[in-house]
Structure 1
Amino acid sequence: MTVATTRDRIVEAADALFYQRGFEKTSFAGIADAVGLSRGNFYYHFKTKDEILDAVIALRAARTQAMLDEWTALAPTPLDRLRCFAEMLIHNREAIQHHGCPVGTLCAELAKSAHPASGNAAMIFGQFRDWLREQFEALGHAGDADALAMHLLSRSQGIAALANAFHDEAFIRHEVERIDAWLASLAPKPTATRARRAKNTHS
């Protein structure tokens, strides 16, 4: 097994454990056991838990960007892309009910201890904010695109926190439906000309 592959396995295991147990409650020994490494082999790749944390944040940022790029490429309209963001809550509903939002929980934990990596973890929220702002701008809301992006981002975080507190899947689905209706209300209304064309097409 190559060094790179072993390092990747360590980061993947740490990512899962930080999410499930929290950063502070995850030990070197716990990560090493999850990967099946001896302590000596483990220290060859990472000397401190903070080094692993930096690698986990980088992994999450890369995954987030890949997901955003996929939504941009596959969803045909800004409204469809924004719906992809909202539906992420449904796709990840089981994990959210058990552990909350992976970004939000890590940011909250690091902020409490004033950890130096707190800002880097929060930058993942920045990735979402920038992308959401771009979609609202494309939807025709350039003047308040950032405010709308922050509203949707904060709304999703609230849903994740309450779903984790109450373990309520129906709540997640209901709130995503409400977000979908809100997004639809922000979509450009067809002009009279386009409306007549649509009517003639279906008549």
Structure 2
Amino acid sequence: MASRAESELKRQHLTETAADLVHRHGFSNTSLADVATAARIPLGSVHFYFPTKELLASAIMDLRVGVIQRRLTSWDALKNPRARLASLADVWLRDRESDTRHGCPVGSLCYELGKDGGTLGQLASKPFSLLLAWCTRQFAAMGLARSARQHAIQLLCSLQGMGILANALKDPRVIDTEARQIKAWLRSLEPRASAC
């Protein structure tokens, strides 16, 4: 019988494998059997950890949200809120080749799950609610409290939009160009913020 630690490692392996498959092929195009094959684990074991595909979606979303939370926590150590926000844009720059091929792993999953409208649809709001709240705090720290939420929405729309367009056009240069524009926009807000 597997120990609790071994069981958790197996569950983690299945979740990470599923997250990769879902990123490359989409949630609806990934079956539990696909996960079992890719993870090299019997299908019965997948069903033991994830009796339904919805439970697997929840685990993938928890994985994605955990990655976001760790990144945000590490960026909170930066003294400048503009630099923190620029770090978010850097994620798209770093992942531009993968995002161009498969889309943003968070955005594409949320888009697909959001169409469900049920339990899966509710999962879709988790990462963006987290990012929106964090970005809003950063803009407020720049002295833009009255417009912080709107700036946060604009930033997230720009980031997701450039990922979608790069994926549709299969052109990573879209991300290069737009990330530079986003960083220039963030720099342009600082003088106004310090004048407030």
Matched, 1:97 2:100: yes
Contact 1:140 1:188 in 2 (8 A): no
Aligned residues between the structures: 191
Matched, 1:139 2:142: yes
Show the 5 A alignment for 1:144-159.
144-159=147-162
Instruction: Report how far residue 113 of structure 1 moved.
Output: 3.2
CA distance in 2, matches of 1:17, 1:162: 21
Give 2:50's aligned amino acid: F
Distance 1:59 1:108, change over 3 A: same
Contact 1:97 1:164 in 2 (8 A): yes
Matched, 1:16 2:20: yes
Which has the larger Rg?
A: 1
CA distance in 2, matches of 1:191, 1:54: 42
Residue 27 of structure 1: aligned partner: 31
- Post-superposition Cα deviations, 1:101-140, rounded to whole Å, max 9, x if no partner, equal 1222112212323342212222101111111101100001
Residue 67 of structure 1: aligned partner: 71
The DSSP-based 3-state class of the residue aligned with 2:124 is: helix
- Post-superposition Cα deviations, 1:174-196, rounded to whole Å, max 9, x if no partner, equal 1111111111110036989xxxx
| Cα RMSD (Å) | 1.8
Residue 169 of structure 2: aligned partner: 166
CA distance in 1, matches of 2:106, 2:118: 15
Pick from 112, 120, 124 the counterpart of residue 127 of structure 2: 124
Distance 1:14 1:115, change over 3 A: farther
TM value normalised by structure 2: 0.91
- What residue ranges of structure 2 are gaps of 5+ in the alignment? none
Show the 5 A alignment for 1:182-201.
182-188=185-191
Contact 2:27 2:109 in 1 (8 A): yes
- What residue ranges of structure 1 are gaps of 5+ in the alignment? 193-203
TM value normalised by structure 1: 0.88
Contact 1:10 1:31 in 2 (8 A): yes
Pick from 47, 58, 63 the counterpart of residue 54 of structure 1: 58
Identity %: 36
Matched, 1:7 2:11: yes
